[in-house]
Amino acid sequence: MTHRVDVVVVGGGQAGLAAGYHLRRQNLDFTVLDAGPAPGGAWQHMWDSLHLFSPAEHSSLPGRLMPAQAGEIYPDAGHVVDYLADYEKRYDLPVQHGTRVNAVRREGESLLVEADTGLWRARAVISATGTWSRPFLPAVPGRSAFTGRQLHTVNYRSPADFTGQRVVVVGGGNSGAQTAADLALDGQVEVTWVTQRPPQFLADDFDGRTLFDVATARRRALEEGRRDTGGVASLGDIVAVPPVRAARDAGLLVAKPMFARLAADGARWADGSHSGADAVIWCTGFRPALAHLAPLNLRSARGHIPTDGTRALGEPRLHLLGYGDWTGPASATLIGVGRPARDAAQAIAQLL
Ligand code: FAD
């Protein structure tokens, strides 16, 4: 049986829920198809000690402030999952969990959405599948020669899994710094942190609020035809969240340059130095999960789908939400996704 709706939203994480909120306000008939068995998107899978880099009220989706978490200024991932589950219920959003979309195809006036539980014929599609399911590992010489354990951020849980071991953490972004700090502060793990360029910490009093304010100021300047104020990238790469600050100030977070290659027993640098390792944790980022859109043939050589705001340039019935700044400033953050979600819902309402 083929279901018919105005809009299918693919992905039911924060971006998919924000889309649902605004589609409802446009009185559109929609459904959200989410591969995950439960609400919460990627937040269900973060490592144990992860906390947001902004206070709760600055991490809210449209319509409902995230409540504060007792005893925490920066809520943990479990609190975000609870908030998203409550958000889905409170707004009675029609999310079908456990439904993976395998393909979206053009079929006459419609877009045909093929999921593992059925077919949906839609007049428009919002893709909000995030990046968590596509961890990126760089091609590094000797990677397959290393006989220890290799894992990506998506598989890291806690230092307890590495007690008494030597661990190399690769990556100079937030996840690399936080993972290295988590392991180093534990005191039972020998950590070597490597980064491609010297780590760039944001000022200690900057958190996600500052990043959002800077991204907003830049968007306004560009919209009003003023000089580009420069985005968040110019501020640094690493938010100095409390554990990162603590590890750095204790001298536990000193980065080495990237190694030249891996050998069976560890990492080797170009100057001949060597670090034995039992495990390598790759905190090397993600790519957008866009495989379901392959039949539409929209990807550029960079692997992104070119957009004007959220709308795909090559398919006006398709919008992309979340993923990164290329679908709207701060679109891949809790507080930032509301605005592009509103724009996408309005554009779809106009189109239909
Ligand atoms: P996701 O949360 O990944 O949700 C996508 C959903 O789509 C998932 O449920 C998935 O199962 C589903 N899906 C995927 N493919 C398909 C398919 N083919 N068919 C159907 N469903 C599919 N942001 C902040 O605002 N504050 C922070 O402090 C913060 N910290 C972060 C820390 C880390 C380590 C990371 C990685 C990110 C952080 N972010 C933070 C960024 C951002 O908020 C998250 O990445 C967020 O999870 C993105 O939401 P999303 O809805 O776009 O994607």
Ligand 1 centroid from CA 315, angstroms: 24
In CATH terms, the fold of domain 2-133+286-351 is FAD/NAD(P)-binding domain (3.50.50)
Sign of CA dihedral 155, 159, 162, 167: positive
C-alpha neighbours within 13 Å on the C-beta side of residue 222: 12
2-133+286-351 against 149-201+237-282: fold identical: yes
Taking only Cα atoms into account, the Rg of the chain, rounded to an integer number of angstroms, comes to 21
Ligand 1 centroid from CA 45, angstroms: 10
Tell me if 331 CB under 6 Å of ligand 1: no
Which stretches of 79-218 are assigned E, i.e. beta strand? 95-97, 101-107, 110-115, 118-127, 149-152, 166-170, 190-195
Contact status, residue 259 vs residue 101, Cβ threshold 8 Å: no
Domain boundaries along the sequence of the chain = 2-133+286-351, 149-201+237-282
- Whose tokens are 């790469």? That residue is 237
Tell me if 35 CB under 6 Å of ligand 1: yes
- Whose tokens are 């100079």? That residue is 172
DSSP, residue by residue, 200-256: -BPPTT--HHHHHHHHHHHHHHHHTT------GGGG-SB---HHHHHHHHTT---EE
Quote the pTM value. Answer: 0.94
pLDDT tens string, the chain, 352 residues long: the values are 899 999 999 999 999 999 999 999 999 999 999 999 999 999 999 999 999 989 999 999 999 999 999 999 899 999 999 999 999 999 999 999 999 999 999 999 999 999 999 999 999 999 999 999 999 999 999 999 999 999 999 999 999 999 999 999 999 999 999 999 999 999 999 999 999 999 999 888 877 777 777 777 777 777 777 777 766 666 678 988 899 999 999 999 999 999 999 999 999 999 999 999 999 999 999 999 999 999 999 998 777 899 999 999 999 999 999 999 889 888 999 999 999 999 999 999 999 9
Ligand 1 centroid from CA 346, angstroms: 23
CATH 3.50.50.60 matches 149-201+237-282: yes
Which of 10, 81, 114, 132 has most ligand 1 atoms within 8 Å of its beta carbon, as the pocket-test mutant? 132
